[in-house]
Amino acid sequence: MKLSEVYHTIPYDLSGSISKNRFRQEILWGVSKMFDLFDEPEFCVIFDYKCDIEIHLENSIEFYQIKSQKAQKPYTFTQLSKIDGTGSIIGKLFVLKDSSCPEVRIKCVLVSNRFLKIKKKELSDVEVINFESLEDDLKLVVQNALKAELNREEIDLNDLHYIYTSMDLISPENAVKGHIVSCFEKIKGCEPIKPNALYLLVSDTATKKASYEFALEDDFDELVKHKGITKGELDSILEQYKENTENSLQQVQAHIEENYSRVSERKKLKSALANIFAAEYGSQTLQSKEREISAYIIDKSETKILPNDSTEVLADNLISVFGDTFPIEYSKQEIYVFVLLIIKRWEDGKYE
């Protein structure tokens, strides 16, 4: 037998590919949703922790379960309420509402690219379905299924929703790229430079957050750091892609060229600069350090005790004050070029 004939006798397994595709779809839907939140004073989107996508606002939490199918036929409530393993799709989503209280509203939403069908009625005339607002006979179907599964006498369907999305959940990349560019123009008032690079940075950041596998129940700040993207973090990424936003990177590169004659030194510093510049937009630690160091510079300059000398002297002064406060994973070269970036941004008036 030929190699190809032997190979065709071996059964294939697409379960891994299907899982990876669903994971990608969930992340990209969350990325798209994140840009819709920019009018909120503050927000944090948590990826793949207690639900596929979580949105934490000032006084509420929203949980989103993403269910995509290639088939175009409706999603039946029988499928949603079928108990499989630890529970049904609708049942596992519903119990997330149990922690709701007057101070913190919890909203639970199932998102799909298929219309919902309850009994024999296809609900294809609305995109957002509030289960509490269903017709009485349809509402009763939902309540009875949840009562039976969860062994409860009463079921409150408030804040339980189903969303039909017209977004292509099978191949969502182009739709998400277009949405990011459109939102960027509204948020920043200009088109992004390198829109593909912007899309890749945002989606890669979200994928990295979603892929973190360790439990973080006791420290919400650590949860946000490893699993979430805040409004401030997203805004920092967008700032990087505004036209002529800043040229601190180019200024530090020029400083390295002018002040270091040895090729090996320049190579190390340029590599450190590339690493730190890419990392700072996704690192709350570096963002916090930038605020801390820039505030120190402003304070000392206003009180006339900032070293009025060369960039190197000022950098040495800042490193002597802040160098030991950086986590150990940052090298001396990375701390040095990070301080240079802050100095150049301060010179250009970024912190005024």
pLDDT digits 0-9 by tens, 75-127: 899 999 999 888 999 999 999 988 777 788 999 999 998 899 998 898 888 89
> What is the 8-class DSSP label of residue 236?
H
Question: Token pair for residue 63?
Answer: 């949980």
Query: Is the dihedral angle over the CA atoms 263, 333, 351, 297 positive or is it negative?
Result: negative
Query: Is the dihedral angle over the CA atoms 302, 306, 308, 311 positive or is it negative?
Result: negative
Report the phi/psi class of residue 64: left, alpha or beta, with left for phi > 0 and alpha for psi in -120 to 50. Answer: beta
Asked if 241 and 192 count as a contact pair (C-beta separation under 8 A), the reply is yes
Q: How far apart are the first and last CA of the chain?
A: 75
pLDDT digits 0-9 by tens, 288-299: 999 999 999 888
d(CA 165, CA 169): 8
pLDDT above 90 (res 334): yes
pTM (predicted TM-score) = 0.70
What pLDDT, on a 0 to 100 scale, did the predictor assign at position 21?
Answer: 72
At 246, the pLDDT band (50, 70, 90 cuts) reads: low
Q: Which of 167-171, 175-179, 210-214 has the lowest mean pLDDT?
A: 167-171
89's CB contacts (< 8 A; 6+ apart) are 65, 67, 79, 80, 81, 82, 110
| Residue of 231, 344, 338, 246 whose CA lies nearest to 285 | 338
What pLDDT, on a 0 to 100 scale, did the predictor assign at position 12?
Answer: 61
Q: Which of 6-15, 41-50, 64-73, 150-159 has the lowest mean pLDDT?
A: 6-15
What pLDDT, on a 0 to 100 scale, did the predictor assign at position 256?
Answer: 92
**What is the share, in percent, of the chain residues with pLDDT greater than 90?**
52
pLDDT above 60 (res 335): yes
More confident residue, 36 or 308: 36
Q: Which helix (H) or strand (E) holds 76?
A: strand 75-76
The per-residue pLDDT of the chain, averaged, comes to: 87
Q: How far is CA 299 from the centre of its chain?
A: 34
At 216, the pLDDT band (50, 70, 90 cuts) reads: confident
- Please state the domain extents for the chain: 15-164, 173-230, 248-347
What pLDDT, on a 0 to 100 scale, did the predictor assign at position 17?
Answer: 60
Stated length of the chain:
352
What pLDDT, on a 0 to 100 scale, did the predictor assign at position 24?
Answer: 84
What pLDDT, on a 0 to 100 scale, did the predictor assign at position 6?
Answer: 64
At 5, the pLDDT band (50, 70, 90 cuts) reads: low
d(CA 39, CA 25): 24
What pLDDT, on a 0 to 100 scale, did the predictor assign at position 132?
Answer: 94
Q: Determine the average pLDDT of the residues in 265-281.
A: 87
Q: How far is CA 176 from CA 34, 179, 193, 195, 310, in A?
A: 11, 5, 17, 11, 46
pLDDT digits 0-9 by tens, 139-174: 999 999 999 999 999 999 999 999 998 777 667 888
pLDDT digits 0-9 by tens, 282-321: 788 898 999 999 999 888 887 766 767 788 888 998 999 9
The CA-based diameter of the chain, rounded to the nearest angstrom, is 85
Asked if 23 and 47 count as a contact pair (C-beta separation under 8 A), the reply is no
| Residue of 265, 286, 291, 263 whose CA lies nearest to 275 | 286
Q: Determine the average pLDDT of the residues in 18-30.
A: 81
